[in-house]
Structure formats: structure tokens, C-alpha cells
């Protein structure tokens, strides 16, 4: 298992409020955490960095190779809950950080499985056999409209309220997350990204970008592609390959 990551400030923002961390466990399983902060430059950076560091520490200290899927799910959800509590308490203790929060995608991949815990509109995509599948569902206002059949995915990408998310780590005392487990076959790639990338491309367009590319080259290619479309937001991508 291999994991790669990269982040770019983009072409418009004054600071990078995305944060990403990855690693490899002793049994060759890998993990990744991608966060996209919100709440002003100071608040967004604080929320995403504290969340990522807290989750990473919880994962590396709590993981062991013979964990069942249920135990791994519990570890990941507990790690995200701990991060939520920490970010929320910081916002309550410091008025200048009030209202800060962050999206989160936490992934552990190994033994032919992908485990994902997420909240917000950062995403995870699975590329295999020439096709791409979105494994996460955005917690956002426009996604609710898509699911209600009121707008299309294409319209959602251009909607004036596309940046309004309905769940974020650190905003409330308790965070509800979604958990997904999926088979991970040899030759597949998992792409985890913030909306600085996914906001520009349909699933089909993203599939075309991923095709015949992998590793660090794919990270660079995706960041370049987002910047060529305007780079209006920070762009962060992690790729896990079997």
C-alpha cells in the first residue's frame, strides 16, 4: 500500500486553510486525514490543523493489525469525535476563533478494504477498472437539493450556495459522521480531496484525469487541473494506491 498527498494555496486565497496528513502502519495498511477549514484565516487554519493532528495521533496510537472492522470503525469515529470536542472547546475559549470548523475525511486502507469516516463536503473517490465512484455524500445545502431532485450535479457546482455545508467538525459539541466501508482491489486508487478540486470537475471529468496516472504524478496533475480552472480555493489531494 502506498499513500501520497499534496496541497496548494490556489490562485486567489491569501492563506491555505486545508490540512492533510498521511502515514503507513507497521502492517503496511495506510491512513490519511484531509480537512478543509472555515471561519476566517486564523480560525480555518486552526480548526483544520488541530483536527488533523488530533485524529492522526488517535489513529497511530490506537491502531493494531488484528483489529476487526467494527473495532477500526470505532477507533476512527472516536478519533474524529475527540477532534471535534477539542476544536469546539477551543472556539468556546477564544472569542477570535468562535464559529470555526472544518470538513474531515478520515481513511484507513488495508487488507483489501477501505474504511472512511467523513463530515462536510470534502470527498473520497474510488477509481478502479477505468471507472470512478464517489464514496462520500456531501453534507451541504446543494447536495440536499440534488437528492431532492431540484437541481443537477452540474447545477450544484455553480450554485451560489455551494459553499454552505450542513455538517462540520468543531461547530457543535457533538458531530454526526458517516461511515463507509468498500472493497479495495489491486490496481485501484482512492482519491481524497477538498472542494478546491471537486468543485471544478464532474465525476466523469475527474475519471479522465485519473486515468493512466498515479502517485505523486497524479497529485501534481490534479492540482494543476484545478488551477487551470481558476484555482479559486485551496486544493488538497491524497491518493492511496494498492
DSSP string, 9-45: --SS-SS--EEEEEEE-TTS-EEEEEEEEESHHHHHH
Confidence class for position 93, pLDDT limits 50, 70, 90? very high
Q: Are 46 and 52 in contact (CB under 8 A)?
A: no
* pLDDT (mean) for 51-61: 98
Q: How many CB atoms lie within 10 A of CB 12?
A: 11
Confidence class for position 26, pLDDT limits 50, 70, 90? very high
Q: Residue 149's pLDDT is what?
A: 87
Compute the Cα dihedral for 37, 38, 41, 43 and give only its sign.
Answer: negative
The pLDDT > 90 percentage for the chain reads 87
The pLDDT > 70 percentage for the chain reads 100
pLDDT higher than 90, residue 6: yes
Average pLDDT, the chain: 95
Confidence class for position 28, pLDDT limits 50, 70, 90? very high
**3-state DSSP assignment of residue 111:** coil
Q: For residues 57 and 43, what is the distance between their CA atoms, to the nearest angstrom?
A: 21
Q: Residue 90's pLDDT is what?
A: 97
Q: Residue 199's pLDDT is what?
A: 93
Domains, the chain, ranges and CATH? 2-241 (3.60.40.10)
pLDDT, tens digit, 9 for 90 and up, residues 134-164:
999 999 888 888 888 888 887 877 787 777 8
- Adjacent-strand bridge partners of 31: 23, 108
Question: Is 0.75 topped by the overall pTM?
Answer: yes
Q: Residue 115's pLDDT is what?
A: 98
* pLDDT (mean) for 51-74: 97
pLDDT, tens digit, 9 for 90 and up, residues 187-242:
999 999 999 999 999 999 999 999 989 999 999 999 999 999 999 999 999 999 98
Amino acid at each position: 500500500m502506498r499513500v501520497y498527498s499534496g496541497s496548494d494555496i490556489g490562485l486567489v486565497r491569501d492563506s491555505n486553510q486545508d490540512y492533510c496528513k498521511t502515514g503507513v502502519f507497521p502492517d503496511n495498511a495506510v491512513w490519511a486525514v484531509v480537512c478543509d477549514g472555515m471561519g476566517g484565516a486564523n480560525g480555518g487554519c486552526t480548526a483544520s490543523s488541530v483536527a488533523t493532528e488530533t485524529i492522526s495521533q488517535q489513529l497511530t496510537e490506537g491502531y493494531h493489525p488484528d483489529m476487526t472492522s467494527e473495532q477500526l470503525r470505532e477507533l476512527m469515529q472516536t478519533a474524529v469525535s475527540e477532534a471535534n470536542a477539542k476544536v469546539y472547546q477551543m472556539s468556546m475559549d477564544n472569542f477570535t476563533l468562535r464559529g470555526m470548523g472544518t470538513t474531515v475525511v478520515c481513511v484507513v486502507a488495508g487488507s483489501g478494504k477501505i474504511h472512511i469516516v467523513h463530515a462536510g463536503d470534502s470527498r473520497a473517490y474510488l477509481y478502479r477498472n477505468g471507472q470512478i465512484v464517489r464514496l462520500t455524500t456531501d453534507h451541504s445545502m446543494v447536495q440536499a437539493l440534488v437528492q431532492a431532485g431540484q437541481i443537477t450535479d452540474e447545477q450544484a457546482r455553480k450554485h451560489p450556495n455551494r459553499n454552505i455545508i450542513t455538517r462540520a467538525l468543531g461547530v457543535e459539541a457533538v458531530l454526526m459522521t458517516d461511515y463507509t466501508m468498500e472493497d479495495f482491489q489491486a490496481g485501484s486508487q482512492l482519491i481524497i480531496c477538498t472542494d478546491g478540486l471537486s468543485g471544478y470537475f464532474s465525476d466523469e471529468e475527474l475519471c479522465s484525469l485519473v486515468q493512466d496516472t498515479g502517485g505523486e504524478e497524479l497529485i501534481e496533475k490534479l492540482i494543476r487541473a484545478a488551477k487551470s480552472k481558476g484555482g479559486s480555493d485551496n486544493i488538497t489531494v491524497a491518493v492511496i494506491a494498492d
